Structure 1
């Protein structure tokens, strides 16, 4: 096997931090060394490679084209190294990367997350938004929260959180103006849709046996925008109970015809290897889900 021919890893790390953060002083703080050490490492790397990585005056350095190319590769490489280290370290404290669909995160998880932080102050939950199927092989998160409408990783540890109930919601003022008494009265309401779940109205109508053939309406790019439009009185939308429970309790939305059970559930999936932070977080999620009333 050919021997790797790499410059000093300290020099590569110093340059990567300087380029990523934009200033050598910030790189020095991150790597816990002096500004002079960072500067010497970068100069040494430039000498070894025979190229300039930065240009411009000392107080306003900018990456050269070669520097930009090298930085992109190094940042990706160090990210993968960090992920590999974290993959085999089982710590009781520190950062825990959690992937969650955006609306579920904003409407259910974040309003309750303060209770986890109070109970486990040593664990820092770092949230990222994604609607993509769970892929532990390609992504760095340890826990993923999804509506289980896609196949789940076969070796993942699954915690079921909430069975999905969904139904039409709208503002109290709009419901009053429309004099909603029967489901057929919804024909007078502007209907709101989201492109992330375009068949929600059709699915709900089929489950309750509502014979309305005209379910056209306004499309919104994101679920969150559609819910905000409903809260603002622009129409009625189909929403899952966990997304609107706090709004209904506060009177911002009403659900005049209740909610019906869908075939999906919200789940938390974590990697099969032992990870105490992920296990503690999923146990907390399950407890919060059990404490969430059904509609």
Structure 2
């Protein structure tokens, strides 16, 4: 019996883009085609396979079980094709995209990155900023750096811890000089990032501090904005040591109460099961750099025992 002809590659590519984005509009933008073209390609693919891949109203389509299974296999396959084309285009050079928390990239990764590039001239590194949970059924970057909580799951990812997470209160030196106790810190204007709104209560629980309601609270979209607000004297921030170490060392920020270790860590997440020597080299380099990173220079202390439970 003659085997069935494979479905058109363009239809598969269009469906994979829709499945990854969850949106025909965003898939159309990536592929530089119209919304209608995406819809027609998906309809053609369903007709070719004789299987429903999407369901629901036209403005809110979702993947069926068959669609999810197909997309899960297509994304790494198209990723491998992209890698092969890039390798051919650049000769021996290999470009990898690393998705990273923006503040971590600015304060920790980029200052160290020249060392990796010098040791691996055959690898080009492109950084992209994201705070979303990694899902390699959808994501197309080669590796990612995230803060990982103990119960957190990143589908199809192989996670490697490379740096512990310490948090503590930081502020401009003149602001912290007016706050002699943890109780005074708790009463200061609080700065927080929308990416981790629980920073203050999480830190207070770790140091055993009864945290009163905030009198003044100022929120910023990202940690780097929050850190700069602390430098400017707008209040006190609870920040990871990795995000503020250069500013504390330079004297732009003060951290007289030190940092406490959180039950979370910085991890490098790479696609599970995909062989890639360049990504493995970057992961191994991050592990070495994490081990060489200085810990918080001031131990976490509590000079105001009366504020503890």
TM-score (norm 1): 0.70
Structure 1 unaligned residues grouped into runs of 5+? 8-66
**For 1:96 and 1:3, how far apart are their aligned partners in 2?**
31
Greater CA drift, 193-202 or 155-164 = 155-164
Q: CA deviation at 1:173?
A: 2.0
- 2:282 — aligned with what? 281
Three-state SS of the structure 1 residue aligned to 2:34 is: helix
Please report how far the alpha carbon of residue 81 of structure 1 lies from its aligned counterpart in structure 2 after TM superposition: 8.0
Aligned to 1:268: 268
- For structure 2, the 5+ residue unaligned runs are 11-31, 42-74, 297-309
Instruction: Supply the distance in 1 between the matched residues of 2:123 and 2:266 (Cα, whole angstroms).
Output: 23
Residue 226 of structure 1 aligns to a residue whose secondary structure is helix
How far 1:201 moved relative to its partner? 0.7
Equivalent in the alignment of 1:116: 116
In the alignment, the residues of structure 2 paired with residue 141 and residue 6 of structure 1 have an alpha-carbon distance, to the nearest angstrom, of 22
> 1:10-49 counterparts in 2 under 5 A?
none
Question: 1:156 maps to what in 2?
Answer: 157
CA contact (8 A) 2:136 2:156 kept: no
Flag the 1:190–1:120 CA change in 2: closer, same or farther, 3 A: same
Is 1:245–2:241 an aligned residue pair? no
Q: Distance in 2 between matches of 1:6 and 1:269?
A: 29
Runs of 4+ in 1 over 6 A off after TM superposition: 3-7, 88-92
What pairs with 1:217-236 in structure 2 (closer than 5 Å)? Answer: 217-236=217-236
CA-to-aligned-CA distance 1:189-232 (integer Å, 9 cap, x gap)? 22111221111111111211212312351111222111110011
Change (3 A) 1:158 1:68: closer
SS of 2:267's partner is: strand
The match for 1:186 is: 185
Instruction: Give 1:52's aligned residue.
Output: none
- Aligned residue in 1 for 2:207: 208
Equivalent residue of 1:174, what SS? helix
C-alpha distance in 1 between matches for 2:155 and 2:289:
25
Of the two, which has the highest radius of gyration? 1
Deviation at 1:246, TM superposition (A): 1.0
Q: CA deviation at 1:154?
A: 5.8
**Deviation for aligned residue 1:98:** 0.9
Report the alpha carbon displacement of residue 84 of structure 1 after superposing the two structures with TM: 3.6
Please name the residue that 1:85 is paired with. 81
Kindly indicate whether the alpha-carbon contact (under 8 Å) linking 2:166 and 2:261 is maintained by their aligned counterparts in 1.
yes
2:172 is equivalent to residue 165 of structure 1: no
- How far off is 1:3 after superposition? 7.3
| Aligned residue-pair number | 231
Structure 2 distance, partners of 1:196, 1:124, is: 29
What secondary structure is seen at the aligned counterpart in 1 of 2:136? coil
CA-CA distance at 1:153 after TM superposition: 3.7
Quickly say closer, same or farther: Cα 1:275–1:189, change in 2 above 3 A: same
- The answer as to 2:67 corresponding to 1:102 is no
Partner SS for 1:158: strand
Please give the TM-score of this superposition, normalised by the length of structure 2: 0.67
CA RMSD in angstroms, aligned pairs only:
3.0
Shift of 1:71: 11
Work out the CA distance in 2 between the residues paired with 1:182 and 1:223.
24
Q: Which moved more, 1:79-88 or 1:253-262?
A: 79-88
